[in-house]
Chain A
């Protein structure tokens, strides 16, 4: 009962340098019983604690089939993440979780999956991509659309290229500013929607990224006949407690930490066009 409020000790058992500022930490809970009990769903997050510095919410990107190893992809941006970036395999940290509601993976079975992300906010949907690819027969077409401002912002270029070679899987990337070695679309992310061959009645959309991008994406999708209840998005807000008490993540009546971070679009639609919530 107290695990939601008190961190559990965990050890870093793997570290991958994804880019100069982005890294993935693979964590293993120290206590065998805690490890045994721990279960999560794609889209859920942990509060990752750096000793003496603080906690931050980080989405779990590894597969739920093996909850003994928990991968967290992190961008070094603030005090905690800069500190986490300096840690090595064997170092110890704290972890509370998992929290929140994840992606509707069960409901999405039998459907085409359209994953749309923008900027660097792709970690929560990488969990979806990995989940679908490991259970390929349960899902229809997988389309991965990602937009970035500058071509050099894109991490996992090889991974996208590899995903694009898989059967029934399509990758469409767009950069506002391309560059000489950019083989993908140059322009807005919504401009590649036409190439995606979306079958609206068979598709479930899962999005995350900057809200302006998601707003434009939703508008464009609805114009293509996708109904609002088929659109899910992962929201990001400040979080301190992760249990719906501290108030930072409130979005209208929702506590993003508890009622999200993944929301069906109709649930948050009322406020989505307003800045400042």
Chain B
């Protein structure tokens, strides 16, 4: 059962969420990109804009349409909101007698409502939930932020040239992991609840049911969005193919092009590596244990006393790709790639994961 949310009533949805105690975070334009930030009103949404993405390029352009979600994705997914790029985990305090006490950092966190989650990002979120929440040790900062997160998904209607979520099976429409899912049409949105609290919010808006013609139009739009995608991975599970080709000459070839900059791991919604470092305070009495996103493309990532396990770009790119498309299957039951294409757009030299994987897996030596 779907409701119809006219475009001019989007503001009511935001207000309803704020009324329920949420701070709304959603897409808005900053520094020439669509990023997720605090939404003060529906006017902050990127109306009339779309994104042009090709290997190594991301540009926003104006469409003249009233649509607010006629774009694919920006550099961020949900990752930075839940798994902070940098945060203090705990603090050590040293008393005058030299004894130490340890305390967890406290996270003052408002309840967030995330507006505009894409299907690829929800797939990535489910993977991070597995990684940070469902193992033997749950990660407290992640768990704190995750607990109250309200998610409004918006089905993707305008995939970028770099997108391949249809190939990974993760999009373009959101099918799980949301409280409310919206499908955007020219006149407004078809809304569907995915949880009880989502239903409560929709009920409070007093919407009328969506017209069957609108639901059908949405279905067509979704099929179009899938068929427009031209990139594909050469299979859903590439574990065997990748690990059978660890000496493939393509690893050398890609290493000649790759700058080992780590942009791909920063924008990847599933990359979870982080480093932990110590920040001693100048008063000498306390020290903070801080974690920050790390990348397997750095030299430090594999460093152990006097030895760097992955000293060159070839072994680092191979580590990244064999993990992302291979080892994830054993670790979390599926590939670590959700087809968002960010690593392709944001790579300064335009390395295309689908192309590299195809050459290595399909043209085994």
Contacts and interface: CB of A to CB of B under 8 A. Distances in A.
A and B interact physically: yes
Given A244-B136, A274-B246, 13 more contacts: A9-B102, A51-B94, A51-B280, A78-B305, A92-B100, A94-B102, A237-B304, A238-B309, A240-B275, A241-B291, A247-B294, A276-B319, A277-B319
- Name, among A51, A237, A270, the residue most crowded by chain B CB atoms within 10 Å (CB to CB): A51
Contact of A276 (B89, B132, B315): B315
For the complex, would chain B's binding face be called helix, strand, loop or mixed by DSSP majority? mixed
B137 A243 contact: yes
A197 interface: no
Contacts of A30: 99
Interface of A: 2, 4-9, 30, 49, 51-55, 75, 77-78, 81, 90-94, 236-238, 240-241, 243-248, 250, 252-253, 258, 270-271, 274-277
A53 B135 contact: no
A250 B330 CA distance: 12
B303 A238 contact: yes
17 contacts: A5-B90, A30-B99, A51-B94, A51-B280, A52-B92, A75-B305, A90-B98, A93-B100, A237-B309, A238-B302, A245-B135, A245-B137, A245-B274, A246-B276, A247-B273, A250-B319, A252-B330
Nearest to A250: B323
B137 A244 contact: yes
B99 A51 contact: no
Contacts of B139: 5, 245
A270 B315 contact: no
Count class of interface residues, chain B = 35 or more
Contacts of B102: 6-9, 94
Given A91-B98, A94-B102, A275-B315, A241 B272 contact: no
A53 B331 contact: no
Interface in B126-151: 131-132, 135-137, 139-140
Contacts of B132: 245
Nearest to B246: A274
Interface string B314-328: 110011001100011
Given A52-B280, A53-B278, A238 B304 contact: yes
Contacts of B302: 237-238, 248
A5 B89 contact: yes
Contacts of B206: none
A277 B259 CA distance: 20
Given A253-B327, A270-B243, A276-B318, A241 B276 contact: yes
